[in-house]
Copies of this chain bind each other. A is one copy, B any other.
Amino acid sequence: MTFAENHTSITRQRPSELLALIRAEPPLVQCITNFVAMNIAANVLLAAGASPAMVGDAEEAGEFARIAGALTVNIGTLSPQMMEGARAAIAGAHEAGRPWVLDPVACQATAYRRAASAELAGLKPAIIRGNASEILSLAGEESHGQGVDGRDGVEAAETGARRLAAKTGAMVAVTGEIDLVTDGKRVARIGGGSSYMPMNTAMGCSLTGLCGAYAAVAVDPFDAAVGALAHFAVAGTRAHREARGPGSFASLFVDALHAVEPGDLEREAEVAT
């Protein structure tokens, strides 16, 4: 695959423009995420330039969603309490006209996850981000993934991703070696990243948080998903160069997310459309 430099044909706001907006006025991103991801997802958002808030209890999640710029919901450590909070927050986000992002972690693994992710996918998320196994399962197709790892390839998930986008109205982002974003018709592919990423837990969950930050400032959630994936991948590529293993990668990656400026994103993002 070759990566075209010019992807303005299908995007209205380039990753660099969106990053400049984030840095100019850090969006408040409400993250209902899992207990594994909470710390690193918050640090990823802070390093990127956004303002994360992990507010998820049903007592206040809806009220908070009305003051946040975007909401993200991740079912990694799914529970009835988490779902109650998510429902309240999603209602609040819709009321305030703010976008929300769904991360259906391991949605193929149990009956409880299949039901919860199907319910959430029906609540008009602006973006759904998952690995190929998750997207295939949510699209109603056969998946080979077990647990939280994605055994299916991104390319194999393209048809499912298009169908899921058409069914839900969401932008669907499938992440893996090469990432893919589709609204059912348009398709963008994002390269870069690092082989240490799958060895770091909650990388995908953190990327979902970053999709929320980009969605908060973007006009079109398609551009938001492409922007977040490009920023994440550029930082991953940079961190990989100096990393000596998955542990050292983790802190280099956070440094790189912060160091990447809009101009760097313009030059280094590998986006093909």
Contacts and interface: CB of A to CB of B under 8 A. Distances in A.
Central interface residue in A52, A148, A201, A254, by most chain B CB within 10 Å? A201
Given A59-B79, A109-B64, A253-B247, A148 B53 contact: yes
A56 interface: yes
Nearest to A147: B53
A240 to B, nearest CB: 13
A67 interface: yes
A1 to B, nearest CB: 27
Interface residues of A, number: 61
A251 interface: yes
Interface string A61-85: 0011001100000001111110000
A36 B39 contact: yes
A148 B67 CA distance: 12
Interface of A: 26, 28, 34-40, 42-43, 46-47, 51-57, 59-60, 63-64, 67-68, 76-81, 106, 109-113, 146-149, 198-202, 244-248, 250-256, 258-259
Given A39-B40, A78-B59, A247-B43, A28 B112 contact: no
23 contacts: A26-B149, A35-B54, A39-B202, A42-B201, A43-B247, A46-B200, A46-B246, A47-B199, A51-B146, A51-B147, A51-B148, A51-B149, A52-B201, A63-B110, A64-B147, A68-B147, A199-B258, A245-B256, A245-B258, A246-B255, A246-B258, A247-B251, A248-B251
A50 B247 CA distance: 15
Contact of A67 (B46, B56, B146, B198): B146
